[in-house]
Structure 1
Amino acid sequence: MIFGIATLISFNLVDTFFISLLGTEELAAIGFTFPVTFTVISLTIGLGIGTSAVIARKLGADQDTAARHVGSSALWLSALLVGVLSLVGFLFSRPIFALLGASAEIQILIDAYMNIWFAGAILLVIPMVGNSILRASGDTKTPSLIMGLGGLMNAILDPLLIFGLGPFPALGMQGAALASVISWSIGFSIILYLLIRRKRLIDPLPPSVTEFILSSRKLLTIGLPAAGANMLTPISLGILTAIVATHGAPAVAAFGAGARLESMASIVILALSMTLPPLISQNFGAGKITRVQEAYKVALRFVLLFQAAVYLVLLASLPIIQTAFAREEAVADVLAWFVIIMPLGYGVQGCIILTNSSLNALHRPMQALLLSVLRLFVMFVPLSWLGNHLAGLLGLFIGGVIANVLTAWMAYRWFMRLTDAERGNGHDEKKPAGAGTEMPVTEATVAKSSATQKEGEGRYGA
């Protein structure tokens, strides 16, 4: 999971590096695009969560035909929703980015990048949701390889198309977007071949409109709350970008580069947020609430220690980071404050993210969504705004760290109270009432769902 997430995030980080070589205005433009592009990606992640959960349950119950129908519906539903969202983004691009604080000059650069990005967004969503189908069947290696190939292609094409090396024309911002779309198209082709022809995990089309509607309802029941929680992050980031924009283009350029560094620094947290929930779900289903709490606490302790080490690495690498992303002294100064202050909160931010995914594992998606709202719009954005009002950008960064610390403490208390209540209801160390109404997901049933999986893989998806 770490490898797969790293390659996915590398798309934005590599784009940011090469675009920074074009100038500060270009780097500021790509900073403005991040909240919008991540909104689309967040919707896709939520749909992938719903897809994986529904298909894994079907495969675990030996309902292979039903699983193929759900998989087909998932791809068509994802393409439809992202297509509509991209069209809306394209039509209202100028008012959206003007609201974020982009000037008319920077808007021209944003359009050069985003028009191509919006046109190719469906080529991004299909591989992401398709990878969720593969993981639901027990195959975790192939998705990582597909994402790795896409990241490699993007890194190769970026300098060729941005700067016009060799026979390629110099396309600037358009070249960066085109490199990403070409990379997505390769993953698009591979994933459809694997799902339809090689592994036969989906059918090209849902069997009927009725089946498509029924499958979509199941997918959206799980996927929409997860997507909503994910989409709150870019919305809050958009608000912060608008606040930062009041300090000028260099501040936006540095903030955008810092946001991408944060994504890379949080790879292990994101990987754990996808691997901890199956462990929690299995033990919750078995009534082992004490083990749920132990797993949760171990993950939190690890994240705090690991992110402390990440902070030290970022501090030591600050001169390299400034050289890589800053072409002006003003950008370098803001980026230095970002790296010195913001990573202090990455450990506790990881605790919040793991609590959120653990609540989903306990079948409490609405409470997970509520935690996201509390973190971002009750704590993070207001305290960042207050810090900016009192002390400028330095205060904004400090306010964000304080917000993460307070929210992490509340999230931990919240999760422990919920699980203590489950133990108090007599669910500890015994199977919950009604659990026998569903077919257990055993190694034997999972093995039937995928000939490629190892022993034990896939058993927790349902």
Structure 2
Amino acid sequence: MDSPSPDPSRKREGSRSPGQRDLTTGPIASTLLAFALPTLGSNVLQSLNGSINAIWVGRFLGEDALAATSNANIIMFLMFGAVFGFGMAATILVGQSFGRRDVEGARRAFGSAIGLVLAASVIVGALGWIFAPRILRLLATPPGAFELALVYLRVIFAGLPGQMMLVLMFMGLRGTGDSLTPLWFMGLSVLLDAGLNPVLILGLGPAPAMGIAGSATATLTSGVVAVAALAAYIHLRDLPLRLKGAELRYILPEVRLTRTIVSKGLPIGAQMLVISAAGLAMVGLVNRLGVHTTAGYGVTLQMWAYVQMPALAVGAAVSAMAAQNIGAGRWDRVGRITGAGLLFNLVLTGAAVGLMLAFNRQILGLFVGGDSPALPIAEHINALATWGFILFGGTMVLFGVVRANGAVWGPLVILFVSMFPIRLGLAVGLQPWLGTDALWWSFPIGSAANVIGAALYYRYGPWRDARVAVPSADEGAARSNSAAEATGTLKPVT
């Protein structure tokens, strides 16, 4: 499908900068794979960090502390989803701007996203600190874990701005075609967090013994250090998204840019909330089946976090590539990018699923003893449901492409229908015939409904007619002139 040529009046910068990858030229398959693998590495590091921290807390502080961190992490995921969509919307704007070689437009979109997300995360962090006790009571946090969860959660809320800025900067860099820099700085964050956890929990060396607050403080510290180091790196290497001098005024969100980021970001954030709500509802159904089934399901979820990573990485890579090519008017490449993404998902996610099923008992046995009643239950869940992540990956690719052109409501509706009327409906409705297996079969059936809906929307939906672009600098001239003095820096503070 043809698309209007990029506006020649837009500012273009043809120079190449460190970290910038032009995703609009060259071979599609090899470029996509080279972009996706570092993103996959970042995802693996992030999950390993959570697992390592859980080990530290569980070993040093006991089950009550581990339960406290689990309750707090559920809340933080919901809070994260509330502002994550803004970052994704900004990434779309950045990617399309780079496709048009409009580096100034990309910087303006990135600056507005920094101002918007920083303000939102500060507000959410402050409210979270104040209302943390009420939130934990609403979750019916066990009495033995309540005080520990409160301490942990409040420190995590204090670190929310730094964590959100780090994620936003990662997403912005990927929008420019740079997936390698986020990998290095994710590694830095993980090393700091995992290394500081035992030091601050136990009070090793000159550090005070902080208990569970030490684990949260390690996460806060690693986020602040990593985001400051990344901001310095972007500035020193003069990467495309660097803001300096008069460009620092871009951090004051422009009205039209903010409207675009919010209108696209809210539906994306709502998708995360839909996934979270469906997950919590499924946990409620599983909890009714007894402690062994709950434990088996919990172990399976640990493994599923890793199985889905190739799909998420390929989906992110496809979205970045599609955004740049749409911005450049290269619609002839968009369909080929989609095809390459579907193929790589089949290979990579299929390999992850195959390994999981081939070494089912050995992998799951790392979390529970070989004689645990939960182990055969977890093996059974895996055998019935894990293959559905291949279908999930297909959905991530198709949704990544349509979102790259600013179409966000279609994916939200499709996701909601597949999660609630279909997945949860089948989990409850089929129990008289299938018993407990109805819950596990609902996962691949829901994924099948999701990918079918995504394929139909990709083929017949109006997403190609969507328009998302950074307004010209002239439209914001009045605001820019009134904000001649820089009021912030690229390095966010908490």
Alignment partner, residue 102 of structure 1: 141
Within 5 Å, which residues of 2 pair with 1:331-350? Answer: 332=375, 335-350=378-393
The equivalent of 2:366 in structure 1 is 323
Question: For the structure 1 residues 343 and 131, does the alpha-carbon distance in structure 2 shift closer, same or farther, using more than 3 Å as the test?
Answer: same
User: 2:153: which partner in 1?
Assistant: 114
- Determine if the alignment matches structure 1 residue 218 to structure 2 residue 269: no
Pair 1:132-2:171 in alignment: yes
Counterpart code for 1:104: P
- Cα deviation code 1:63-118 (max 9, x no counterpart): 55554444333222112112222334344444544544533333334323322211
1:82 matched to 2:121:
yes
Partner in structure 2 of residue 303 of structure 1 = 345
Greater Cα shift, 319-328 or 370-379: 319-328
Q: Does 1:51 align with 2:51?
A: no
In 2, distance between residues paired with 1:328 and 1:103? Answer: 28
Query: What amino acid is the match of 1:5?
Result: N
Quote the offset at 1:42 in angstroms.
Answer: 2.9
Separation in structure 1 between the aligned mates of residue 290 and residue 309 of structure 2, nearest angstrom: 30
Q: Give the match for residue 145 of structure 1.
A: 184
Provide closer, same or farther for how the CA distance between residues 120 and 280 of structure 1 changes in structure 2, counting only shifts above 3 A: closer
What are the Cα deviations for residues 362-408 of structure 1, in whole angstroms up to 9, with x where unaligned?
Answer: 44221122222122223233333446787776542332232222332
Distance 1:258 1:168, change over 3 A: farther
Task: Please give the alpha-carbon distance, in whole angstroms, between the structure 2 residues aligned to 1:384 and 1:210.
Answer: 47
Q: 1:3 aligns with which of 41, 59, 66?
A: 41
Give SS of 2:178's match: coil
The Cα offsets for residues 419-451 of structure 1, whole Å up to 9 and x where unpaired, read as 9x97xxxxxxxxx9x99xx99xxxxxxxxxxxx
Distance, in Å, in 1 between the alignment partners of 2:251 and 2:53 is: 40
Residue of structure 1 equivalent to 2:50: 12
Give the helix-richer structure, 1 or 2. Answer: 1
The amino acid of 1:306's aligned partner reads L
Counterparts of residues 397-436 of structure 1 (less than 5 Å): 397-418=440-461
Q: Matched residues in 2 for 1:334 and 1:252: separation? A: 9
Which structure 2 segments of 5+ residues have no match?
1-38, 473-494
- The whole-number CA distance in structure 1 between the counterparts of 2:62 and 2:435 is 24
SS at match of 1:323: coil
In structure 2, the partner of 1:263 is: 305
Counterpart Cα distance in 2 of 1:187 and 1:37: 19
- Taking the aligned partners of 2:188 and 2:63, their CA distance within structure 1 comes to 30
**SS of corresponding position for 2:249:** coil
**Structure 1's 326 and 167: CA in aligned 2 closer, same or farther, altered over 3 A?**
farther
* Greater Cα offset, 143-152 or 297-306: 297-306
- Alignment partners' CA distance in 2, 1:120 and 1:240: 30
SS at match of 1:329: coil
In structure 2, relative to structure 1, the CA distance for the partners of 1:54 and 1:301 (3 Å cut) is: closer
Unaligned 5+ runs, structure 1 = 423-431, 440-462
Deviation of 1:58 after TM superposition, in Å, equals 4.5
Name the SS of the counterpart of 2:242 in structure 1.
Answer: coil
Q: Distance in 1 between matches of 2:77 and 2:284?
A: 16
TM-score between both structures, scaled by the size of structure 2: 0.72
Measure, in 1, the Cα distance between the counterparts of 2:230 and 2:205: 31
Structure 2 residue aligned with 1:182: 221
Aligned CA-pair RMSD = 3.9
Deviation per CA, 1:221-249: give whole Å up to 9, x if none. Answer: 33222222233222322333344444567
Q: Quick check: 408-417 or 389-398, which moved more? A: 389-398
The 1:15/1:249 distance shift into structure 2, 3 A limit, reads: farther
* Residue 237 (1) aligns with residue 275 (2): no
Q: C-alpha distance in 2, partners of 1:338/1:164?
A: 41
* Matching residue within 270, 292, 300 for 1:228: 270
Distance in 1, matches of 2:347 and 2:159, equals 39
196 and 303 in structure 1: CA distance in 2 versus 1, 3 angstrom threshold: closer
Contact 2:365 2:375 in 1 (8 A): yes
Report what 2:231 is aligned to. Answer: 192
Q: Deviations over 1:35-77 (max 9, x none)?
A: 3222233344322222223234445556555544443332221
Q: Give CA deviations for 1:164-193 in whole Å, capped at 9, x if unaligned.
A: 556656555433322222211211211232
Q: Partner of 1:274 in structure 2?
A: 316
Contact map agreement 2:174 2:320 (CA 8 A) in 1: no
Give me the whole-angstrom Cα distance separating, in 2, the residues matched to 1:312 and 1:306.
10
Q: Which digits, 9 at most, give the CA deviation of each residue in 1:199-219, with x for residues without a partner?
A: 271248853897543432232
Contact 2:92 2:406 in 1 (8 A): no
Is 1:71 aligned with 2:110?
Answer: yes
Q: Which residue of 1 aligns with 2:410?
A: 367
TM-score norm. by structure 1 comes to 0.77
Whole-angstrom distance in 2 between the partners of 1:53 and 1:190:
25
Describe the shift of the 1:413–1:212 C-alpha distance in structure 2 as closer, same or farther (beyond 3 A): closer
* 1:156 lines up with 2:156 in the alignment: no
- Secondary structure of the 1:416 match is helix
SS of the residue corresponding to residue 207 of structure 1 reads: helix
Which secondary structure state, in structure 2, belongs to the residue aligned with residue 364 of structure 1?
Answer: coil
Does the C-alpha gap of structure 1 residues 80 and 396 become closer, same or farther in structure 2, counting only changes over 3 Å? same
Q: Name the amino acid aligned to 1:13.
A: S
Q: What does residue 401 of structure 2 align with?
A: 358
